[in-house]
Amino acid sequence: MASTDTDDSPVRAQLAQHLGFLYPDSKVERLADEVIAIFDHLEEQRPLPLHQLWSQEDCLLITYGDSIVDGDAVPLETLHAFLKQHVKDSLSAVHVLPFCPFSSDDGFAVIDYTQVNPKLGDWSEISQIADDYRLMADLVINHVSSESQWFENYRKGIEPGASYIMEANVGDDLSDVVRPRASPLLRPTETSAGLKHVWCTFSHDQVDLDFRNPRVLMEFLKIIRLYLEHGVSIFRLDAVGFLWKEPGTTCMHLPQTHEVVKLIRTVTDFFAPGTLLITETNVPNHENLTYFGNRNEAHVIYNFSLAPLLVHALLTGKTEYLKRWMMTMPPAPVGCTYLNFTASHDGIGMRPAEGLLSDEEQLQLVETVRRFGGHVSTRRTPDGGERVYELNVALFDALRGTVKGEDPWQVERFLCSQTVMMALEGIPAFYIHSLLATPNDQAGVEATKHNRSINRHKWNWQELQRQLSDKGSVHHQVFHELIRRIDLRRQMLPFHPNATQFTLQLHEPFFAFWRQSTDRSQSVFCVHNMTDSVQELRLSDLNLIAMDAWHDAISGTRFDDQNAVLNVTPYRSLWITNRPTSR
């Protein structure tokens, strides 16, 4: 047991350092004691060496607890049934999006962090999923619902809550504050102490918490402890970049924000070793990379730039922007890696494309996605203007055609997008609606009046079962082919998240890169035709070692003549490797 019998002097000293930086006027030794007391008697977990934190066998599923529903059945039980019957061990981890009671934003306006939304199930269903898969949960850390007890107590002037909410004065300099939304930043609120102006980075139902008060930090450490007890082993720090506010600044990525992440990392490393932290910072790439810290912040960061650049490449047939980004991406530090994804419960974020795609290229992307039924969300800029924040569209429908219009290659184009993603350095994450080739849910948008509902469809379990068993169904075709490729990936050492990666300079229609296993025994040349026409690939343009036998793991095709010229059909992907792979 991690109790008071354990020598906690090293972590105590480290905590005091973090807390002293955050709260220089507080008694940091007392605060450090309080942190240790919160995690006292937490069931001991066996530490994992850095090289065992992840492997090529790791893939993650992103899903809501009720993405699949079955009448009056408990949705989390239905999700678990889907995982056991169809996914099995092809995926190793599951990210169940916010499962607490909420008031808006499909879970990201949390009313009570300590409860499971009864419409989804209870803690027992959460723990049962955690018994079969590594479970990832959201720590919605920046804000809380305006219907929460904390906010109600704030209005009444009683604790806990009276000092938990971030306020601003009307005269504060907020001109540089970075916003993900176009709504007003401040919410006028009547309280027992009179009219106050509450900080709302996202919506007026999502009121920001004031981490300048150490009590707020302690509340979230208690939440982490609770989640650990129910099997959560991966924490997604939602919107963490906005956490600490100082008027007169951008209020993004402030040093105190990074220090809070470091403190959480210190706590989980000591009391729950093997727990992973993922920071959700949907921002330009150079800002996102800072959350690796000095290997003392996030274990994993999202590869946010991948989605818009990959979609752009597949819609235009131009690979230059994707290649340029790939060549400038640093290998993740030891003990860290990337989370690669192409779709999520949110839209395709466009901020990570800033500085990578020109305004004209972004506009072309927006117009094409709109033609395929998608929508666009904007954000407010410091000068009072608006910019595209994200594309709201189901990825399967975003790839319905190209900038030229719709065509017959939707399935092949979509499979190419997922195959690129699962081969890149890092851990691949599949949104459930990508795995199932779910189209745009326009009825959901009409019902909720929210653009993001287009990609948050709720499948009927019986209908999904029928679709997945029907070999003529597009859902069957995509799902089973993706699972087959995932299973191939799990066998191939070069797809370890930290294996060597090098961008290949093939001619324009191809996007290609080389992966090599850490023991150098196996190589994979990942080659993708990003166009709607047949392209010639000269095997002599690849560095195929003459003494090895090479084959495409995806199709099983052998290449006995290393000078052969292949006719690569539209959107075909090849994993050309020198080691046998069972199929």
Catalytic residue ranges = 238
CB 37 within 8 A of CB 221: no
- List Cβ neighbours of 51 (8 Å cut-off, separation of 6 or more): none
CB 426 within 8 A of CB 497: yes
Q: What are phi and psi of 2, to 5 degrees?
A: -85, 85
Tell me the C-alpha distance between 583 and 575, whole Å: 13
- Closest-CA residue to 12 (of 346, 271, 382): 271
- Give the H or E element holding residue 62: strand 60-63
The token pair at 420 is: 């690129």
Region of 305 (left: φ > 0; alpha: ψ -120 to 50; beta: rest) is alpha
Half-sphere exposure of 114 (CA within 13 A, CB side): 8
The token pair at 340 is: 């690669």
Q: How far apart are the first and last CA of the chain?
A: 44
Q: What is the 3-state secondary structure (H, E, C) of 475-536?
A: HHHHHHHHHHHHHHHHCCHHHCCCCEEEEECCCCCEEEEEEECCCCCCEEEEEEECCCCCEE
- Closest-CA residue to 267 (of 2, 24, 1, 48): 2
Tell me the C-alpha distance between 312 and 365, whole Å: 6
Name the 3-class secondary structure at 89.
coil
Separation of CA 362 from chain center: 22
CB 180 within 8 A of CB 389: yes
Return the sign of the alpha-carbon dihedral for residues 160, 161, 164, 169. negative
- List Cβ neighbours of 80 (8 Å cut-off, separation of 6 or more): 125, 128, 129, 132
Alpha carbon separation from 201 to 142, 161, 183, 242, 449 (Å, rounded): 9, 18, 9, 8, 20
DSSP code of residue 83: I
Alpha carbon separation from 203 to 146, 403, 489 (Å, rounded): 10, 34, 41
Tell me the C-alpha distance between 356 and 362, whole Å: 10
- List Cβ neighbours of 454 (8 Å cut-off, separation of 6 or more): 373, 374, 375, 392, 393, 394, 440, 441, 442, 444, 445
